[in-house]
Amino acid sequence: MKLLITGGAGNVGSVLVNLALQKGYAVRVVDTLWFNKKIPLAHLGNPEYEFIKGDICDQQLMEKSLHGIDYVIHAAAVVGDPASKLFPDLTSMINQEAAINLIKLCEMNRVKGFVFLSTCSNYGVSDGLATEKSELKPLSLYAETKVSVEQYIMQQAKGVDWVIGRLSTVYGVSPRVRFDLTVNDFAMNGYRNNFLDIFLPLSYRPYVHVWDLARVLLTIIEKFKSVKNNVFNIGFPGENYQKIKIAEAVKKYIPDLKINIVKEGGDLRDYQVDFSKLHGMIKLKREYDAQKCIGEFINVFEQGIINDFDNPVYYNTSPDFSH
């Protein structure tokens, strides 16, 4: 079986590629390598791995990339609220226009299945646990583009089976790790500065470790016939956290950590998510939680594997992204 993974050198995509190759899939990746040009080198000696450096907005390239493909996992996007604010035109072009064009190409090429990585940020602010049937209240251009593509898939994608995965906020070490994600950011700044500023400390968000996320996505591929044409919240029970709880998890590793509650900030999202639909169908148990992940990061930092914390490669608002 052959997978096309767009954005396969990104934070999520790079881990997903690693696991897919371990599981014996043939993998083709399309990625612009905006952030880390060396990531594909880890796999180029594997005959089951093929890398194409290119832009998903290039329709001719994407049509060629679909030759011989069974399933597409579409991870390529301008990800996150800050990046979408900084690059609004690029966000609309990549997240919406290019995604819809790729779906059309999948229909034309008779791809067996299309997995679209959306976001739980679509819920914005919710009362109680948000289910897949809850009202969507996107608070950013990023979420708006994801909602738009979801609507296209559900209403107009007739020639290809699909799964929409609304991802929890991702955390954890990755070949293209990000420090503009809450758990990762708290771990890094706690280690580096012994200090955290927190806005809306009691606000909730669902979280998922990047490794557990990759396991879920490949299980969806394995069980595609039974889960197709569904929307799923992607995450695990027990992983809806308040921000202050993540800070307290960091403090267990860094006892002298100072936590400062700030009164102003730009992120107003506050929602908890129900994952029962997903786990009623795929039966996976998570291997990570936020506290275990903090230890993972501390180990990486103490060994000096990552110490250039200001490097733009770790942030989706890097100026290189506009290229």
Q: What is the DSSP string of 208-267?
A: EEHHHHHHHHHHHHHTHHHH-SEEEEES-TT-EEEHHHHHHHHHHHSTT-EEEEES--S-
| Tens digit of each residue's pLDDT (9 = 90 or more) over 144-182 | 999 999 999 999 998 999 999 999 999 999 999 999 999
- pLDDT at residue 322, rounded to an integer: 47
Which CATH number is 202's domain given?
Answer: 3.90.25
CB distance 166 to 208 below 8 Å: no
pLDDT higher than 60, residue 323 = no
Which CATH number is 22's domain given?
Answer: 3.40.50.720
Q: State the pLDDT confidence band at 319, using cuts at 50, 70 and 90.
A: low
Residue 67 domain flag: yes
Domain of residue 297, residue span: 174-206+238-272+288-322
Q: Three-class SS of residue 273?
A: strand
Q: Are residues 181 and 142 in the same domain?
A: no
Q: Are residues 134 and 201 in the same domain?
A: no
Residue 132 domain flag: yes
Residue 272, both tokens: 């908890």
Quick one: DSSP state of residue 92?
A: I
pLDDT above 70 covers a percentage of the chain that reads 98
Q: Are residues 162 and 228 in the same domain?
A: yes
Closest to 318 measured CA to CA, from 143, 189, 180: 180
